[in-house]
Amino acid sequence: MKKVSRLAIILLAALVYFTTVQVQLAFSKPSFPLQSQRGEGAQKINFGRHFQELGVEGSILIYDLKANRTYQHNPTRNATSFLPASTFKILNSLISLETRVIADEVAVLTWDGIKRDIKEWNRDLNMREAFKLSAVWFYQVLARRVGHERMQDFVTKVGYGNKKIGGEKDIDKFWLEGELRITPQEQIQFISRLYNEDLPFSKRTFSIVKDIMIVEQTPDYTIRAKTGLAQGTPQIGWYVGYLEKNKNVYYFAVNIDIRKDKDVAARKELMRRCFKELRVL
């Protein structure tokens, strides 16, 4: 009887342990596999040639949700941190809408009258226009309205990059020239949580931001994305977002050195070429 009792106790303990592990796994944050292009089923993928043909250095990371597979070029760079630049406008939009420092995507902010190099910025704008034009002044106003304490709180809750936004004096520039850094891998993780609405924002906020992120929509697919251009030597060009097609979603992050004017357009061209390589576009 004692042997039977001991066996029952052992089996019960094992059951409790495995149940606990399963619960922990169920509530863990979603992740994605980081496979190299030499991974199973990806032997023929050669994204590198597109970078060579366009004459740029950089990386790309694509995650196919349905296949649970990652494709990438330059994995070392995909794990390297960079200033997010205007890709931070995605999170800035979410925070600004959630805190109601701006009512919605059509509420207008009055231009301050300061003429900037990009003439399309030199007028009153709403969020939909400012996001598309990547108008820096508009999002600087929003950041100042949010304030340092609330901004830091949301950046920390979201777990955005290294979460460093500097001091109060940096509130309207930390994503442009401050301490904030994010890797292409982390960009993908953030975008996937945006898509899944696994961030501390309301459904209304998600709906508005996903809508203003649309850069291309056809009967076959929809692309939601944001560019970014970080200052430095060289400048760093971003293009991050996701493509929806056939009830599947493909997250992507392009990160390249901008050495010539023509390199700016290479951000989007690389994304398109690599998706064509995967027969998605």
Active site residues: 86
Can you say whether residue 221 is alpha, beta or left, with left for phi > 0 and alpha for psi between -120 and 50 degrees? beta
Joined together, the tokens standing for residue 113 give 């009258």
- Answer whether 166's CB lies under 8 Å from 151's CB: no
Q: For residue 238, how many other CB atoms are within 10 A of its CB? A: 26
- Answer whether 192's CB lies under 8 Å from 63's CB: yes
How is the chain split among helix, strand and coil, in percent rounded to 5?
A: 45, 20, 35
Select from 183, 178, 176, 143 the least CA-distant residue to 159: 183
Amino acid identity at 169: K
